[in-house]
């Protein structure tokens, strides 16, 4: 087993040094922490390094070996981040130290990026870094909002409470996403089945009828000729159409990621009648919830607005928050600058003004968040109520066109027959 030489400080500040055996450097750091020592430096001894070098040479002599490495940086999705935050908050509330809590969580292997992130956080805490600084090294998972709320909890000595507020915040964000996602599951399923059915009909069913019509001869009705032409095009050039659609989707996705494309796409979202209500209700609820959580954690108003601006999913709304932040001069009144813009509705700014006058901004923001959560529920229900019959009508028109085209040809063919 490798040996490590270390230099550390005890709880009383005395300097200590020595050697220990451990599987790797992380295990050595954990051993020092369990002994109540704060590591200053931990280095592998020369003998162990020489042994590893010898092993590598022997491995090279035996032949090449395939080594797989993860080039992509590990990440956690929103659900994994929420679970990690809840578990860490519960462990800290039970009286466990931060290092021990992270070490406990690092033992729960999930097989994803979560394992790597938790281990890295644990190692940073063992080296003496603060949790907020350690979280800041993973901006793809822990955003500016998360890091700032943790930092305020560290400053106030109420880290577990701050993590609990972060957990509640992310729970509500996840719930809002689930509402929209669940509303789209059924329409997406119906559309997928409908498209596959239409492709099957055009590729396998219509050609059989067209061959029968050719044998019988005669002039086919216009709808039937159109249907047969569409079927023939799909059979011979369907691959080209699929490539064109795929290329268009890739182009649009890349264009939307550019600043100009993102601005146009988000602006279009705010102009579509049904989608506008869903997007704005979700954005207003997120704005109020995020700002309220930051103010409740003790973050100053101007910095809180900057964090809220970065967390908004729509760049048009984020620009309005930026303009309002620039107009805020006294650091406390924000309802007026928000009302001066063209995005935030009067109801939101009026409720915010009441909170400013009463001195209970977090409470007012909590009421605003609940108000627009209800608005989001209603908008999603309206969306699904309209979309379902609309899909039925579209499918009925397409199926009806195919059926009528076939029947018209059959009637024309049979009407020319002399049946006595």
What is the structure's pLDDT at 332? 52
Extents of the domains making up the chain: 3-62, 78-171, 199-420
The 3-9 sheet, strands edge to edge: 15-21, 3-9, 38-44
What is the structure's pLDDT at 62? 45
Taking only the tens of pLDDT, the chain with its 420 residues reads 677 777 777 766 677 777 877 767 767 777 777 677 767 677 777 444 444 454 554 545 444 443 333 345 678 888 888 888 888 888 888 888 888 888 888 887 776 778 888 888 888 888 888 888 888 888 888 888 888 888 888 877 788 888 888 888 788 878 877 877 777 787 788 888 888 888 888 888 888 888 888 777 767 888 888 888 888 898 889 889 899 999 999 999 999 889 888 889 888 888 887 788 888 888 888 888 888 888 887 778 888 888 888 878 888 888 888 888 877 765 557 888 888 777 888 888 888 888 888 888 888 888 998 898 888 888 888 888 888 788 888 888 888 888 888 888 888 777 655 544
Residue 56 and residue 69: Cα distance in Å, rounded? 17
What is the structure's pLDDT at 243? 94
Asked whether this chain's domains 78-171 and 199-420 adopt the same fold, the reply is: yes
CATH of the domain spanning 78-171, picked from 1.10.2020.10, 1.20.81.30, 1.10.240.10, 3.40.1190.20 = 1.20.81.30
Which candidate, 393, 387, 388, 402, places its Cα nearest to that of 197? Answer: 402
What is the structure's pLDDT at 240? 92
The third-level CATH classification (topology) of the domain covering 199-420 is Receptor-associated Protein (1.20.81)
Q: How far apart are the first and last CA of the chain?
A: 101
Residue 75 and residue 279: Cα distance in Å, rounded? 26
| Structure-block tokens of residue 155 | 């400053």
Tracing tokens 């559309």 back to the chain, one arrives at 191
Residue 235 and residue 229: Cα distance in Å, rounded? 10
What is the structure's pLDDT at 245? 92
The number of beta carbons lying within 10 Å of the beta carbon of residue 49 is 12
């Amino acid at each position: 087993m490798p040996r490590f030489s270390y230099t550390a400080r005890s709880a009383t500040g005395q300097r200590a040094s020595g050697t220990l055996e451990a599987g790797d450097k992380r295990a050595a750091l954990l051993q020092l922490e369990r002994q109540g020592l704060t590591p200053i430096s931990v280095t592998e001894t020369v003998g162990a390094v020489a042994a590893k070098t010898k092993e590598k040479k022997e491995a090279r002599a035996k032949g090449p070996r395939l080594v797989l490495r993860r080039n992509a940086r590990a990440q956690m999705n929103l659900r994994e981040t929420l679970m990690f935050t809840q578990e860490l908050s519960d462990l800290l509330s039970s009286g466990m130290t931060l290092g021990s809590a992270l070490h406990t969580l690092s033992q729960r292997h999930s097989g994803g990026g979560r394992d790597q992130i938790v281990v890295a956080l644990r190692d940073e805490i063992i080296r003496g870094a603060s949790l907020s600084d350690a979280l800041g090294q993973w901006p793809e998972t822990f955003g500016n909002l998360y890091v700032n709320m943790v930092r305020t909890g560290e400053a106030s000595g109420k880290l577990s409470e701050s993590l609990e507020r972060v957990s509640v915040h992310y729970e509500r964000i996840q719930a809002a996403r689930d509402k929209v996602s669940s509303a789209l599951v059924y329409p997406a399923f119906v559309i997928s089945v409908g498209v596959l059915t239409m492709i099957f009909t055009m590729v396998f069913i219509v050609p059989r009828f067209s061959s029968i019509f050719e044998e019988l001869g005669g002039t086919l009705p216009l709808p039937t000729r159109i249907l047969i032409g569409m079927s023939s095009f799909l059979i011979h050039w369907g691959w080209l159409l699929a490539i064109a659609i795929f290329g268009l989707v890739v182009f649009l996705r890349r264009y939307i990621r550019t600043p100009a494309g993102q601005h146009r796409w988000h602006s279009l979202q705010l102009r579509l009648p049904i989608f506008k209500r869903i997007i704005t209700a979700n954005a207003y609820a997120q704005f109020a919830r995020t700002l309220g959580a930051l103010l409740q954690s003790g973050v100053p108003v101007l910095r809180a607005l900057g964090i809220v601006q970065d967390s908004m999913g729509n760049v048009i709304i984020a620009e309005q928050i930026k303009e309002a932040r620039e107009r805020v001069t006294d650091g406390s009144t924000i309802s007026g600058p928000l009302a001066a813009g063209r995005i935030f509705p009067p109801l939101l700014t009026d409720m915010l003004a009441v909170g400013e006058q009463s001195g209970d901004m977090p409470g007012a923001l909590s009421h605003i968040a609940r108000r627009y959560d209800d608005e989001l529920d209603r908008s999603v229900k309206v969306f699904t109520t309209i979309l379902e019959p609309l899909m039925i009508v579209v499918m009925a028109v397409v199926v009806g066109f195919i059926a009528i085209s076939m029947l018209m040809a059959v009637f024309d063919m049979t009407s020319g027959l002399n049946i006595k």
